[in-house]
Amino acid sequence: GNKFLNPQRDGCLLPILHLNGYKIANPCFLARIPEDELRRFFEGMGYRPYFVGGHDPEQVHRRLAETMDTVVAEIQSIWQRARQDGDLSRPAWPMIVFRTPKGWTCPAEIDGKKCEDYWRSHQVPMSDMDNDDHIRILERWMKSYRPEEFFDGDGRLIPELAELAPKGHRRMSDNPHANGGLLLRSLRLPDFRDYAVDVPSPGTKYVEATRVMGTFLRDVMKENLASNNFRLFSPDENNSNRWQDVLTVTNRCYMADIYPEDDHLDPNGRVMEVLSEHQCQGWLEGYLLTGRHGFFSCYEAFIHIIDSMLNQHAKWLKVCNEIPWRRPIASLNYLLSSHVWRQDHNGFSHQDPGFIDHVVNKKADVVRVYLPPDANTLLSVTDHCLRSRNYVNVVVAGKQPSPQWLTMDQAVKHCSAGIGIWDWASSDRGSEPDVVMACCGDVPTLETLAAVDLLKQHLPELKVRVVNVVDLMTLQSPHEHPHGLSDRDFDAFFTKDKPIIFAFHGYPWLIHRLTYRRTNHKNLHVRGYKEEGTTTTPFDMVVLNDLDRFHLVEDVIDRLPQLGARAAYFKQAIHEKHIEHKQYINKHGDDMPEITGWRWGMKSLVDTGTSTEGDNA
């Protein structure tokens, strides 16, 4: 992290490594390294270490105070050289290695066992307090701190010590940097509608959704450069996830050596990119907590690396929502791209959509999960996330060229509701549907609409309703999540008794978990990722996990026995398509042209042997 600190512009962190020798039950290995080796270790990481330690409290406190004075003066000298003299060479920032005994000043032994300067002091040194000897040990221990010297007869801190406490905003509890909402300024945001993708008709245009998002973020960055309150964070994936347009207005922050051939590196850059999800998460959390704004882009499979860090931030937000003086901060925003369904050359190791499952375990008034199906919905969601406060927003969107379904006006309305019936894709207007085809995520939406297209052409009498979900939490009960649909509205979308075929971006059981209390849950059939993957073609990935259009059509046929014999021929033709697909990719290493070239409303290549002349391409 110290390779990214610009002394001309940034503050700094003073690391203090407190080595007291032990963890809860074993030695700490850094404490067992000789001082010379430890010094070389930290010098190799770019620090100037200062060592303070000992057993005598008065001596150690004095040495630490003197060392603090030294390192603060050194930091101020670094800043002066950079800010007044223009010296932008990367400094060796100071740090302190502080050695004290474990359990310093507790009894040396208890019941004949070593306590001070040993791991036992980390635990419960005296568990049996009915033991008179233990009570006497505790009394001597507490009196060894000489409380009569520090408190008056009423237990109040004596005035000369109370006066040592910082005043005003210097107090830790009143420092605005520890209550970042006091410093927060809203971002200047361009109108996201100006970045709309033109959609003359559904599914006819293909674009990279996250690249469009990156163009919007470029101008968000540009509008806020002067205020220095917006950064992007990414573990080496900024360009891979299609945010490279941002680099036309700023660069990647970097304070180590820069070579002429390096790509967009600059000490003043505002894109924080380092191949460590932990580092990016820690940076972003600190940035938000001190009143700024940011967005974190990551490959979907590897965001799991920061699961526990996300836990702590979400818990912190949950508690802060219950504290009236704690001011709201900007939301923690994630873009998860390079997702499970498009890992054409990375394969099984890069296929895991389970971060969504982890996030929805957190408190409902903190977490939000969005799966926009195209670029215009992604723009609307991005704008919403940047304006929001005190949330963890998870946005999942693909970076590969994909069909665009909604105009910007339709996208805004759809995202505002979080869920909607796509009437242009449905055939049940004015009546109850025979089946509900639901989808959540860009690839599941594509496969659902391709399946609906097949049904319309080969079973035209079937009444199909298409429901798309952008805000995942609309599926949950309103008693569990504030975005949840009422039971009446849920039934209006999904009916009370008709089959629901739900194509989902992630693990199927999450949808069941969110909807298990709903009236029609018994008729809900979910397709999603089921831990089947490899380095293969895009369409083969969905086939491997039974999420493809042909499986979805089979699911409809299996749940509508009234379709009769005609459906049997159709199902056989669909089954043969799976065989044809496998043969084709084994021979050509790519998906069939009828898959890659499919567009909404085109004629099907599935020959059931029952269509009238001219119905088959």
The 3 state secondary structure assigned to 237-286 is CCCCCCCHHHHHCCCEECCCCCCCCCCCEECCCCEEECCCHHHHHHHHHH
Four-point Cα dihedral 41, 46, 51, 57, nearest 10: -110
Rounded mean pLDDT, 547-569: 91
Residue 375's pLDDT band, with cuts at 50, 70 and 90, is very high
Residue 298 near residue 235, CB atoms below 8 Å: yes
Percentage of residues in the chain having pLDDT higher than 70: 98
Nearest-angstrom CA–CA distance, 349 and 324: 44
617 has a pLDDT exceeding 50: no
Strands 109-110 and 113-114: antiparallel
Nearest-angstrom CA–CA distance, 145 and 267: 49
607 has a pLDDT exceeding 70: no
Residue 101 near residue 55, CB atoms below 8 Å: yes
Residue at 284: amino acid letter:
L
Rounded mean pLDDT, 90-117: 94
Residue with tokens 């069939």: 592
Percentage of residues in the chain having pLDDT higher than 90: 87
616 has a pLDDT exceeding 60: no
Residue 344's pLDDT band, with cuts at 50, 70 and 90, is confident
Which has more confidence, 379 or 561? 379
Determine the pLDDT at residue 606: 63
Q: pLDDT digits over 450-469, tens only?
A: 999 999 999 999 999 999 99
32 has a pLDDT exceeding 80: yes
Determine the pLDDT at residue 614: 37
SS3 for 435? strand
pLDDT mean across residues, the chain = 93
Rounded mean pLDDT, 54-59: 92
Query: Could you tell me the CA-to-CA distances from 544 to 122, 338, 528, 552, 578 in Å, in that order?
Result: 51, 18, 10, 13, 10
Whether the CA torsion 501, 502, 508, 512 is positive or negative: it is negative
Pick from 254, 255, 232: which is nearest to 244 by CA? 232
493 is written with which tokens? 């979308």
Determine the pLDDT at residue 340: 94
Q: pLDDT digits over 247-256, tens only?
A: 999 999 998 8
185 is written with which tokens? 């300024």
Rounded mean pLDDT, 161-166: 93
